[in-house]
Chain A
Amino acid sequence: MPIFAHVPIMQEFHIAEARRAALLMALDLGLKRTEAYYVATAVSELATNLFLHAGGGDIQLSVVARSNRLGIEVIAQDEGPGIADVALALSDGFTTSNGLGCGLPGAQRLMDEMEIDSEVGRGTRILARKWGPVLPQDREPTSSYQVVEN
């Protein structure tokens, strides 16, 4: 099972590549099909933002562990213009690109947790996680995964 993937987003077709990688990883982790579809869609939204607003960036996917669950962690990072007002960007219907204005808030709803770290002029780093099913007691997450604090 791949536990790490790195997809540079420079062109539009890279978005599909990141989305495919996310879907595969989520399904491998044992997420339900709908949940895996959520993760893939969220990654697609974040990657689209990198392409449209930041002039490119990176998507990193990794398997992470917390107590007795495994999850998928998505990091979208760019050195673009940054987000001036994060709260505004997370509100529905706000768009700077003539889009639908629900990509970022939508991604937040599709994932279990999402943090946005942005500085105007420096870039943006978005970290989002989706947790998989609870593992049986005898199958503790092993040390090969990065363990995330509660």
Chain B
Amino acid sequence: MTESTDFNLSHFIESHQDKLLESWMKGLLPEWRRKHPQSVDEDTLRRQSRQLLDGLAKLLAGQLTESWEPPLDHSITLLLRNLSSARVKQGYRAADIAHYLVTLKRVLIHALLQENLTGDLSRFGDLLATVEIATDSLTTLIYEIYAETRERIIAQQSLSLLELSTPVVRLWDRVVMVPLVGVIDTARARQVTERLLESIAKFEATVAIIDVTGVPILDTSVAGHLMKTIAAAQMLGARVVMTGISPDGAQTLVKLGVNFSEIPTRATLRAGVAEALLLVGKRILSIKEEQ
């Protein structure tokens, strides 16, 4: 039996570290092992968790107010950052990561209740509140880090998609082609224009085929982007042939009032290639005809 007024949370965590760590791992590991059997490295996890308990003991030496947040440069923040971002990459879900600290909170509160503290009950309430504030704000932090890491991964993925999706192909001498696939937003349109102009200059192309078969919808913003690209290509002296407008797309463009009539268009890429070759004075012949 200890008087609650003499009770020191920080010392308590330090002196009971092994026991706390044991119950923490016992509460956590079965679930993590079940969900992610490949990636639970128990030794590392124990080491990190021990460091976290150390950090927590130091934190709790001071008084925590309700608006307390872990300082950005504190060792515990860095520790959680490493732990969380590593788990995201291993495919842990947000709930799994939150579970880590929720388990710690349960273990701490449970251990406190077993101490059989007597005396001032409001002091005991303060102790519980302190544990709650600390673990809750650490949970918020770990959640934030999780979201941040995810967002960074998504941003990287969309960047790599952007790089993947705009090849400019040299079809023949002085003929280049861009197959457009997917959503044409401002970033894509800018990139298409840049790549196309580069290739026109590099290959001294006089004809550029823009194929829109893979563009899901031709609305005024896509049409506007295309027109700017075409105008820029024409300024470099290349003629543009547009191919792959679907029947639905053609009808929609007419209803919208978008006018592509000054640009040679062909329904299929095949017809577009024939037109482009004609523009550079070439023709595809079957071998028999030639003989």
Q: Using a CB–CB distance below 8 Å, which chain A residues touch chain B?
A: 12-13, 15-16, 19-20, 23, 33-34, 37-38, 40-41, 44-45, 48, 92, 99-100, 102-103, 105-106, 109-110
Contacts and interface: CB of A to CB of B under 8 A. Distances in A.
Q: Which 7 A-B pairs have the closest CB atoms?
A: A106-B256, A37-B248, A102-B257, A44-B219, A103-B220, A16-B183, A12-B185
A34 B219 CA distance: 14
B125 interface: no
Interface string B102-131: 000000000000000000000000000000
B256 A109 contact: yes
Given A13-B183, A92-B257, A106-B257, A100 B252 contact: no
Contacts, number: 71
Contact of B223 (A13, A15, A100): A100
Given A12-B185, A34-B247, A37-B252, A99 B258 contact: no
* Chain B interface residue bracket vs A: 20 to 34
Contacts of A13: 183, 185
The A contact surface, by secondary structure, is helix
B221 A48 contact: yes
B220 A34 contact: no
Given A44-B217, A102-B258, A12 B186 contact: yes
The B contact surface, by secondary structure, is helix
A105 B255 CA distance: 9
B221 A41 contact: no
B218 interface: yes
A36 to B, nearest CB: 8
A38 B255 contact: yes
Nearest to A93: B257
A41 B256 contact: yes
A34 B217 contact: no
Contacts of B187: 12
Contact of B252 (A38, A92, A103): A38
B217 A102 contact: no
Contacts of B219: 41, 44-45, 48, 103
